Amino acid sequence: MSGGHRALGPFTVSAIGLGCMNVSHAYGGRPDRRDALRLLAEAVELGITHFDTAALYGFGQNEELVGEALAPFRSRITLASKCGMTGINGKRVIDGRPETLRRTCEESLRRLRTDVIDLYYLHRWDKVVPIEESVGALADLVTQGKIRAVGLSEVSTSTLEKAVSVHPIAAVQSEYSLSSRGVEKSLLAACARLGTALVAFSPLCRGLLTGAVTEATAFAPGDIRLAMPRFQQPHLAANVALATMLRQVAAALDQTPAQVCLGWLLAKGPHVLPIPGTGRRQHLVDNAGAGSAPLPSWALARLETLFAVGAVSGDRYPPATLAEVDED
């Protein structure tokens, strides 16, 4: 692990974490259970200490997998999970009512094989429940010793500011990458001002930035990218062309495209913590090695030019999902 360490609320963690969703949820080509368990254990061996899962992923299966794999290393890692969006009868349901969050926490503790969750996020703000009520329920879980710190996911600056009036918010998790820069409107700066970490999920744009996705890619049935506009034509062709130029920058630096993407994020502020996900060992090794040296100024300037706001074609979510998200 060469990217150093960063603050995540009260914790000090590896600058590059691991988003665990990929091994159980959302994408095709997932590893089998034995390989997934081995991958998670190897992440610890590589020096990764920040692991992120959620009740939603695999409708509980990801937490079970993470709990089994990481139980031997529990004292060495910071474990994050999420509530407020779960699977019920095979469907994704957003529910931020306090009683639901309490129940989900108990279920997550059992699946994760732990007595306490280090960082517990509200996965999505349930817009029919005041954010203060949901955060208040999470604050109660801190008091009870069930969780150590509170986080929010996919929220706007105004929602974050309402939440911190109830309880300190250790982290906000948002999609942030060269291709998704919405947090730069105000949330990135607000997090720095409030002492809140900005945990960047999908920092490689779900494989689009690394060249893993091309115009010839055939997604498996059920892969969430099938419904995302930027993975559909005509957007996809334009975005693949951008990724080709990114690979040229990476080649000049003798880095992988993923390492360049992660290095760019690390340069955005000491409170930014990327959590790339993968089901492949070599990608895990590459990602863990990101940040060994800061990207040179010429590379940062080139990336800013290539990926200026609006350069990536197509929305990150389909319209119905965008309507659920609370963002600036």
In a domain, residue 302? The reply is no
Residue 241 lies in a domain: no
Quick: pLDDT tens for 224-248.
Answer: 999 999 999 999 999 999 999 999 9
**Interval 149-182: pLDDT, tens:** 999 999 999 999 999 999 999 999 999 999 999 9
| Within a domain: 9 | yes
Q: Residue 1: pLDDT above 60?
A: no
Residue 142 located in a structural domain: yes
Q: What pLDDT, on a 0 to 100 scale, did the predictor assign at position 78?
A: 98
User: Would residue 56 count as lying in a domain?
Assistant: yes
- Say whether pLDDT at 203 is over 60: yes
Which tokens go with 1? Answer: 């692990």
Any idea which residues carry the catalytic annotation?
Answer: 57
What digits encode the pLDDT tens for the residues 287-315? 999 988 899 999 999 999 999 988 999 99
Domain for residue 37, yes or no?
yes
Q: Taking the model in full, what pTM does it have?
A: 0.96
pLDDT at residue number 45: 97
Q: Tokens standing for 279?
A: 């089901």
- Confidence (pLDDT) at 295: 97
Q: Is residue 160 part of a domain?
A: yes
CATH number of the domain where residue 60 is located = 3.20.20.100
Does 237 fall in a domain? no
pLDDT tens by residue, 177-201: 999 999 999 999 999 999 999 999 9
Instruction: Give the number of domains in the chain.
Output: 1
* Domain boundaries, position 266: 5-205+259-293
Residue 15, token pair as written in the block: 């600058």
